[in-house]
Amino acid sequence: MDASSDALSSALLDWYDAHARDLPWRSPPGAPPPDPYRVWLSEVMLQQTTVAAVKAYFAEFTRRWPTVKALAAASDAEVMAAWAGLGYYARARNLLACAREVAAQGGTFPDTEEGLRALPGLGAYTAAAVAAIAFERRAVVVDANVERVVARLFALDTPLPGGRTEIREKADAITPEARSGDFAQAMMDLGATVCTSRAPRCLLCPLSPHCRGRATGEPERFPVKAPKKAKPARNGRAFWIEREVDGEGHVWLVRRPGKGMLGGMRALPDDGWSARADGSGEGPLAGPWESAGMVGHVFTHFSLSLNLSVYLGNQCDSLAQEAGEWWPLDRIEDAGLPTLFAKAARLALAETGEEA
């Protein structure tokens, strides 16, 4: 690190000492690092997910499972249901796999970037972040915030994702030996609160004297990104099947396959829209069906219009051979349905409620 990089990291750390965000998974600037379990859990939750969305989930997970051993002992169903609504459900599957691997090693996380990188769900970013934040290792932590800050600092205009190599080299060059965890978090806080995607607040930025992006007069132009692909529209059906069990209303829920869309999550039965681009139209029963309306939902790579069909027949017994369960309607909120199916359930309950 040359003198200029040293001045830059000092300016950033000074700013962090004064302006660090107070977050539930953090220690104050300069304080001993937090429990690696909490650092890891928060980092996985924060992958492609906003701080605001994570806070409630982090509180609930750490309340129910205070240690990695406790989490490792939880059932798949409990953890998947607790993750419901947070999205990217492969994270939850990997989270549990990782917890069990760590628990099997005595409940202690590896304390090096390489060791962490070998665990399920820890890629280049998360391994570096946990190594730096929880174990005070020097690691080059590059997330979307750091990409934006670095691209602006050096006015890097090679479009992403190709430009990531260059961004990483520059990030490495400015990462200090000491306090690299605070440095990483400072970069992320700066990106989140000052060097924002739109309308960066350069007047508040501790790095503005060093910033070539600002010198161009158009800092918001960086980083340059490749054009987005169009999002196709898909259609599908989901099925709402009620029956009385012990005098209480229940609905038929299934467990989705372990991989792919909403993998491993509890769900309404559907016609296979996720696997086939458009569903077969077939339901788990012959019918009759009545449409309760449409549910719209946008996923990462397509938009879905889901027709919700309510069962009007009384041949539910044939479902006994299918894999699924009758779930009590008055506890539907606890089923751990991903947002798409939670929306569908709200629609069904509103419709069938009016009929009653």
| Interacting residues with DNA (CB under 7 A) | 21, 23, 25-26, 42-43, 46-53, 84-90, 94, 120-127, 129, 143-145, 148, 161-162, 185, 188-189, 191-192, 197-198, 225, 228-229, 260-263, 274, 297-301, 338-340
Cβ-based nearer residue to DNA, 209 or 260 = 260
**Of 115 and 120, which has the nearer Cβ to DNA?**
120
As a whole number of angstroms, the distance between CA 104 and CA 119 comes to: 12
Residue 18: exposed, middle, or buried by beta-carbon count in 10 A (0-12, 13-18, 19+)?
exposed
Alpha helices in 161-258 (DSSP H): 164-174, 180-193, 212-215
Q: Which of 185, 189, 149, 190 is nearest to 39 (CA)?
A: 185
Q: How far is the CB of 356 from DNA (least distance, A)?
A: 27
Query: Residue 202 or residue 299: which is nearer to DNA going by CB?
Result: 299
Contact between 204 and 194 (Cβ < 8 Å) = yes
Helix (H, G, I), strand (E, B) or coil at 101: helix
Please report how close the Cβ of residue 238 comes to DNA at its closest, in angstroms: 13
Long-range pairs, 158-164, Cβ under 8 A, ≥24 = 158/224, 159/223, 159/224, 159/225, 159/226, 160/223, 160/224, 160/225, 160/226, 161/226, 162/226, 163/223, 163/224
Q: Which of 43, 60, 169, 322 is an active site residue?
A: 43
CB closer to DNA, 96 vs 285: 96
CB of 122 to DNA, least distance (A): 5
Residue placing its CB nearer to DNA in the complex, 89 or 327: 89
CA distance 243 to 117: 48
**Smallest gap, in angstroms, from Cβ of residue 161 to DNA?**
6
- To the nearest whole angstrom, how small is the minimum distance from the Cβ of residue 353 to DNA? 22
**336 neighbors 314 (Cβ within 8 angstroms):** no
The answer to whether 169 is a known catalytic residue is: no
Q: How many CA atoms lie within 13 A of 4 on its CB side?
A: 7
Contact predicate 73/327, CB 8 Å? no
Active site residues: 43
